């Protein structure tokens, strides 16, 4: 029995029924689940509570980004759903992240709180387009350092940056990496991609994987194949 599954399956579905159809093929010892903006907007907090009650660790990926007071209140509401992990955008700033962390620590369940550095869909060109001319890797490092300073548990980054962040920010800092693609699988809208095995070798704590599993003919088999590729317990 694996008590700390490394794979987080992204439930990017348009409604609860479609998401549940996948969830019933999965097992809490094999993976955790991620509820993002699409499913949360469609199915709501009650659906998140339904998932947490079924023993799956749930990452509520709503990437809060607002003024400190608003983000803190949103983090309290999210913590009260019993989720395992939730997140904010590091670019919301130090004060915002500190307010979020304080809110989470005052909640009963104290979920892990992490911050998004630079979205894995972005590359140097798209970063420049939003007015940031720092080297992308340096920008990720700056935001991750600020996140640690604010007292959060970790960051969302690409596994391309995991080795660098692990070395600088230590073994305990949680590195959650989307943009995971097994070899020869479509990259879709992701820019900074890494294979599951390489992501773990680079020091990722958890791999977020959506379409390579959810769009597979047999999602359970696709998940098990990734476990085998990475030598993870089944
Ligand atoms: O930088 C980020 C932050 C979040 N995500 C989310 O992860 C999944 C990835 O899904 P795939 O289908 O495996 O591409 C998705 O829910 C994103 O919202 C991310 O990709 N990058």
pLDDT by residue (tens digit) across 144-195? Answer: 999 999 999 999 999 999 999 999 999 999 999 999 999 999 999 999 999 9
This model of the complex carries an ipTM of: 0.99
Quote the pLDDT of residue 70: 99
Quote the pLDDT of residue 1: 59
Q: Report d(CA 148, CA 97) in Å as an integer.
A: 10
Catalytic choice (63, 73, 198, 201)? 63
207-221 per-residue burial string, b: 16 or more CB within 10 A, e: under 16 = bbbbbbbbeeeebee
In Å, what is the CA distance from 155 to each residue of 47, 90, 140, 178?
A: 25, 8, 10, 11
Q: How far is the CA of 98 from the centre of ligand 1 (A)?
A: 24
Residue in 117, 111, 112 with CA at minimum distance from that of residue 139: 117
Quote the pLDDT of residue 49: 97
Report if pTM > 0.95. yes
Q: According to the CATH classification, is domain 7-229 in 3.30.110.30?
A: no
Q: Report d(CA 7, CA 208) in Å as an integer.
A: 6
Pocket of ligand 1 (CB under 6 A): 10, 12, 36, 116, 119-120, 156, 178-179, 188, 190, 208-211
Which of 178, 191, 226 should be mutated for ligand 1, with most atoms under 8 A from CB? 178
Return the residue whose CA atom lies nearest to atom 6 of ligand 1: 178
Is 61 known to be catalytic? yes
> Do the beta carbons of residue 179 and residue 159 sit within 8 Å?
yes
Binding-site residue ranges = 12, 34, 61-70, 120, 181, 190, 210-211
Structure tokens at 170: 């230590």
Reported as half-sphere exposure (CB side, CA atoms, 13 A), residue 203 has a value of: 20
Successive 10-residue mean pLDDT values, the chain, 234 residues: 90 98 97 98 98 96 99 98 98 99 98 99 98 98 99 99 98 98 96 98 98 98 96 81
Q: Report d(CA 155, CA 112) in Å as an integer.
A: 10
Instruction: Give the residue extent of every domain in the chain.
Output: 7-229
């Amino acid at each position: 029995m694996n008590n700390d599954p490394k794979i987080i399956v992204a439930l990017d579905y348009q409604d609860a029924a479609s998401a549940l159809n996948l969830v019933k093929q999965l097992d809490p010892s094999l993976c955790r689940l991620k509820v993002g903006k699409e499913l949360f907007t469609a199915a709501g907090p009650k659906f998140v509570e339904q998932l947490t009650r079924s023993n799956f660790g749930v990452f509520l990926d709503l990437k809060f980004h607002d003024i400190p007071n608003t983000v803190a209140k949103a983090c309290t509401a999210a913590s009260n759903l019993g989720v395992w992990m939730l997140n904010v955008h590091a670019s919301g700033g130090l004060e915002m992240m500190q307010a979020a962390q304080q809110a989470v620590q005052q909640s009963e369940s104290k979920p892990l709180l992490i911050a998004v550095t630079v979205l894995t869909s972005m590359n140097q060109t798209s970063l420049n387009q939003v007015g940031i001319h720092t080297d992308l890797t340096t920008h990720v490092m700056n935001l991750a350092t600020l996140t640690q300073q604010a007292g959060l548990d970790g960051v969302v980054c690409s596994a391309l940056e995991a080795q660098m962040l692990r070395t600088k920010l230590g073994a305990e800092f949680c590195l959650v990496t989307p943009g995971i693609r097994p070899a020869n699988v479509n990259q879709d809208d992701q820019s900074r991609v890494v294979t599951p095995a390489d992501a773990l070798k680079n020091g990722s704590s958890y791999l977020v994987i959506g379409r390579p599993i959810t769009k597979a003919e047999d999602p359970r088999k696709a998940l098990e194949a990734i476990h085998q590729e990475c030598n993870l317990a089944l």
